[in-house]
Amino acid sequence: MTEGWRHTAKPFAWRRSLWIAALLTPALLVMVLFVLWPLLSAFRFAFYEFNGLRPSGFIGLENFRQVLFEKPYSDWTWNAFKHNVIAFLALMLFENGTAFLIAFALLKALPGHRVHQVIVFLPVVLSAVIVGFLWKLFLHPLFGLVNQLLGLVGIGAIPWLGNEHTALGSILFANIWHWLGFPALVLLAGMQRISKDVLEAARLDGAGDLALMTKIVWPLIAPSVTIVTILTFIGSFNWFEIPYVMAGLTGSPGGSTDVLGLYFYRTAFGSTTTGIQDFGQGSALAVLMFVFVAGVTAIALRYLRRREIEQ
Amino acid sequence: MSRRRIGLALAAASFAWGFATSLAHATEISFWTWRQEDKAAYNELFADFTKANPDIHVKFESFPDENYPTIVSTALAGGKGGDVIHTHAYGWLEQFVKAGYFEPLDMATVPSLANQPADALVSGTYRADKKVYSLPFASQTLGLFINKDVFAKAGLTPPTTWDEFITVSKALKEKGIYPLANGMGTSWFNEMFVAIFTNPFLGPDFVSDLTSGKTTFKDPRYVAALGKLLELRPYMPDGFEGIDYETAGQLFLSGKAAMLAGGSFDIATYRSQNPAINMDFVAPPMAKAGDTPQATKFFDGGYAVNSKSASKEAALKLVNWMGTKEFGDKFSALLGNISPIKGVVIKDELLSHVAKLNETAMPHINVVYFRFEKPTGSELLQGDITKMMSGSITPDQLAADLTDGLAKWYKPFQGK
């Protein structure tokens, strides 16, 4: 009996492995060609000097030294990095904070909550390019909807995207409008997984909305918070589309909306109007961004997972 | 009857065979450009070329302007790309030449190089080997668009000096018209805006001192010229910091603004957007009466031959033809651009006026001299000018940032 099983199991296992390999190969090929290969190329190019558009010699860590410590490149790098950090903090506070409140309100299943759920999620399905363009029009100093409305109460034309002090905030606002529905949905899904018995027991014990939110719901949706935090972090440091559409490749005005994604693109691929391409420096920036995002994500995941277990 | 049919069929077949054979022997080459809007004009020009060279057919292929450098460099790196490439000039071109992507052009392969003026050829020449790699296609002039109807309605005369500009602007503003349509919302144009209004205050002597290493951008003449830009702010639209170049064009075309600092490259576009517009293109205000009117000029780019082209001979033939007077005359007429080819006749009144301005125009300093290495003058200036116009840095600081940034690679500025 055992012998027979062995006899038939071997070809079956072999066939099964072949089948799995056949299923995985296309995906693996795509990953290797379009993810792994460019990543390894970027690592290699980061150590080369480019004379024109071709690598001309191995220069070790020189490209890294330039983008981190040599002016004006270092100023531009740290300026862009600062804006990514601001974006992350602002999105955590305003986007995810609002999303939490919305999710909690939707959890209560008030009349019309299904319509609101759709409305909140609707902008997420729009392309970032469309959202950026739309908000650029809304924020136009002369013809934009926002200034037209402000004009009704006597406030003059505000150059939202042209003023160093309001440009980044305006772009962040557009980004929050675009993505708010996503964390709201993830957090709502987390809240809906909480046992109704737990919520009802808390209510019977006299817990109000605030106590329910902070003492029961918040600790119990820790896995969802982990996902939202990690995705917000990765999104903030890979931020490109909306700043590109609303502020252009130079992060105007005066670099006040520059982020690492824009600075990398500008450095590696140049622009018709600012000048030349430098794949070496661009690759160094890409490597730094990758190492930073991957490193912090790994550490944060470890910490957040521990927090989930503790709670 | 059936014999006749057979005869007809044989005739048709031999005709088709002959036609197919001629096509099979014809060489098809491609022309790559970022000028999507010029497709019809180029196809008409290429049809003329094919008429004279029936064995060569040219295919027009265009790509988005913003991604053009990336697309071209990626294709050329892979040994692909168009046979003839529309290039930008100066530093943009040099990085492609350094990588060996373009074929050098000389009098043997492209005799029409002789039709190009010396300053045009500089724009397509690699500084290291002094060889021409791109045949210049157009000069661009930066100056001031004037909406003549708006001025006539306001009973005012377009200004020629800085003082007149300020006086006229005050009067226009009082009448509820934006004197100057421009804002600061488009980085690439901001750099041109600086060139337009500062060049008349700088003059050719400053350019000569700058390029010979006698002075830097910290020169009081440059700082003072930058200071003049601040005087323009009250005459620009409300919220000018956020007004982009496209909006400025619409304000000008709709008559809401009387003047627009712009480029000759937009003449054809503005005419197509508002055929009824009664406009002029003049030199920006002179520092004082009696000065030479000084518009700003640069060469936009040229036509280069892909060094990996499988049809190099045909590509060189096309580029040579693009340097002839025949091409230049029709190019200027169809596209409203000024061909640099000697002897080209410009029939359009406004364009011929622009060509006249070119005779005394100053070079676009950053584009012509400071886009060859990193950081480019354009990167530095475009980053700082919005800050200066919003008041967060001074002209002195901008001049220092520009000089210190360029000193990384421009030796005459080092230690100054």
Question: From A167, which residue of chain B is nearest by alpha-carbon distance?
Answer: B242
Q: Show residues of chain A in contact with B383, CB under 8 Å.
A: 250, 254-255
* Model confidence pLDDT, tens digit, residues A140-152: 999 899 999 999 9
Residue A277 near chain B (CB below 8 Å): yes
Of B251, B386, B404, the CB nearest to A252: B386
3-state helix, strand, coil in chain B (%, to 5): 55, 15, 30
Mean pLDDT of chain B: 91
Task: Return the residue of A nearest to B73 by Cα.
Answer: A53
- The answer to whether A159 contacts chain B (CB < 8 Å) is yes
Q: Does A95 touch chain B (CB under 8 A)?
A: no
Report residue A274's pLDDT band, with 50, 70 and 90 as the boundaries: low
Confidence of residue A270 (pLDDT cuts 50, 70, 90): confident
Taking CB atoms and an 8 Å cutoff, what residues of chain B touch A51? 98-99
Query: A161-165, B131-135, B232-236: which range is least confident on average?
Result: A161-165
Question: Mean of the pLDDT values across residues B101-125?
Answer: 94
Tell me: pLDDT of B9 over 80: no
Q: Hey, CA dihedral for B28, B34, B36, B39, is it positive or negative? A: negative
Kindly determine whether residue A272 and residue B88, on different chains, have CB atoms separated by under 8 Å: yes
> Inter-chain contact A52–B98, Cβ cutoff 8 Å?
yes
Report the CATH fold assignment for B24-139+299-358: D-Maltodextrin-Binding Protein; domain 2 (3.40.190)
pLDDT band per the 50, 70, 90 thresholds, residue B1: very low
User: Is B160's pLDDT higher than 70?
Assistant: yes
How many CB atoms within 10 Å of residue B304? 28
pLDDT at B102 over 90: yes
Residues 6+ apart with CB under 8 A from A203: A212
pLDDT band at A10 (very low <50, low <70, confident <90, very high): low
Chain B interface includes A253 (CB < 8 A): yes
Q: Pick the residue of B186, B245, B307, B386 with the most A CBs within 10 A to test the interface with A by mutation.
A: B386
Look at residue A308 in the predicted model and tell me its pLDDT.
73
Helix then strand count (H, E) for chain B reads 17, 9
Percentage with pLDDT > 90 across chain B? 79
The predicted pLDDT at position B67 comes to 82
Which segment of B21-30, B218-227, B337-346 scores lowest on mean pLDDT?
Answer: B21-30
Interchain CB contact of A269 with B (< 8 Å)? yes
- Say how far apart CA B304 and CA B296 lie, in whole Å: 25
Mean pLDDT in residue range B225-249: 95
Question: Residue B286's beta-bridge partner residues?
Answer: B161
Mind listing the pLDDT tens digit for each residue in A12-68?
Answer: 788 889 999 999 999 999 999 988 888 888 889 999 988 767 788 899 999 999 999
- The pair phi, psi for residue B103, each rounded to 5°, is -85, 135
Which residue of A245, A272, A278 to mutate against B (max B Cβ within 10 Å)?
A272
A276 touches chain B (CB under 8 A): yes
Q: How far is A42 from chain B (nearest CA, A)?
A: 15
Confidence check: pLDDT of B83 > 90: yes
Write out pLDDT tens, residues A188-245.
Answer: 999 999 988 988 898 888 888 889 888 889 989 999 999 999 999 999 999 999 999 9
d(CA B412, CA B211): 8
Task: Write down the pTM of the prediction.
Answer: 0.85
Reduced to 3 states (helix: H, G, I; strand: E, B; else coil), residue B285 is coil
pLDDT of residue A185: 94
Determine the Cα–Cα distance for residues A64 and A67; give it in Å rounded to an integer.
5
The H or E element spanning position B30 is strand B27-33
CA distances (Å), B35 to each of A153, A277, A294, B140, B363, in order?
A: 44, 21, 41, 15, 23
Of A142, A269, A274, the CB nearest to B382: A274
Give the pairing type, strands B257-263 and B178-180.
Answer: parallel
Distance from CA of A53 to the nearest CA of B (A): 5
- As a whole number, the mean pLDDT across chain A is 89
- 3-state SS assignment for residue B289: coil
d(CA B317, CA B335): 22
pLDDT of residue B8: 60
Closest CA to B110 of B87, B76, B133: B133
Backbone angles phi, psi at B404, to 5 degrees: -65, -40
Mean pLDDT calculated for residue range B236-258:
94
Tell me the CA distances in angstroms from A29 to A25, A26, A35, B129, B173, one per residue in order: 6, 5, 10, 44, 64
Find chain B residues with C-beta within 8 A of A271's C-beta.
66, 69, 188
Do residues A261 and A243 lie in contact, with contact meaning Cβ atoms separated by under 8 Å? Answer: yes
Pairing status of strand A54-58 against strand A48-51? antiparallel
Euclidean distance between CA atoms A230 and B374, whole angstroms: 35
pLDDT at A97: 95
Higher pLDDT, B59 or B16: B59
Q: Which CATH class is domain A66-310?
A: mainly alpha
| Backbone dihedral region for residue B407 (phi beyond 0: left; psi -120 to 50: alpha; all else: beta) | alpha
CB proximity list for B314: less than 8 A, separation 6 or greater: B27, B29, B53, B55, B56, B83
Query: Residue A111 has what pLDDT?
Result: 83
User: Does A159 contact B188 at a Cβ distance shorter than 8 Å?
Assistant: no
> Phi first, then psi: what are they for B145, rounded to 5°?
-80, 140
Report how many Cβ contacts below 8 Å link chain A to chain B.
157
Q: What is the pLDDT of residue B165?
A: 97
Q: Is A58 on the interface with B (CB under 8 A)?
A: no
In whole angstroms, what separates CA A288 from the centre of its chain?
Answer: 17
- Rounded to the nearest angstrom, the minimum Cα separation between A45 and chain B is 14
Lowest mean pLDDT across A159-168, A266-275, B188-197, B260-269: A266-275
At residue B375, φ and ψ (nearest 5 deg) are: -75, 140
The closest alpha carbon to A260, from A86, A89, A81, belongs to A81
User: What percent of chain B has pLDDT above 70?
Assistant: 94
Count CA atoms within 13 Å of residue A295 on its CB side: 6
For the domain with range B141-297+364-413, which CATH number is right: 2.20.25.190, 2.60.40.10, 3.30.70.860, 3.40.190.10?
3.40.190.10
> How confident is the model over B24-64, as pLDDT tens digits?
568 999 999 998 889 999 999 999 999 999 999 999 999 98
Instruction: Inspect the interface and report whether the beta carbons of B66 and A271 lie closer than 8 Å.
Output: yes
What confidence tens digit (pLDDT) does each residue in B366-377 have? 999 998 888 999
Omega before A219 cis (within 30°)?
no
Taking 50 as the threshold, does the pLDDT of residue B74 lie above it?
yes
Shortest Cα–Cα distance, B82 to chain A (Å): 17
| Domain map (residue ranges) of chain B | 24-139+299-358, 141-297+364-413
Subunit contact A162:B186, Cβ cutoff 8 A: no
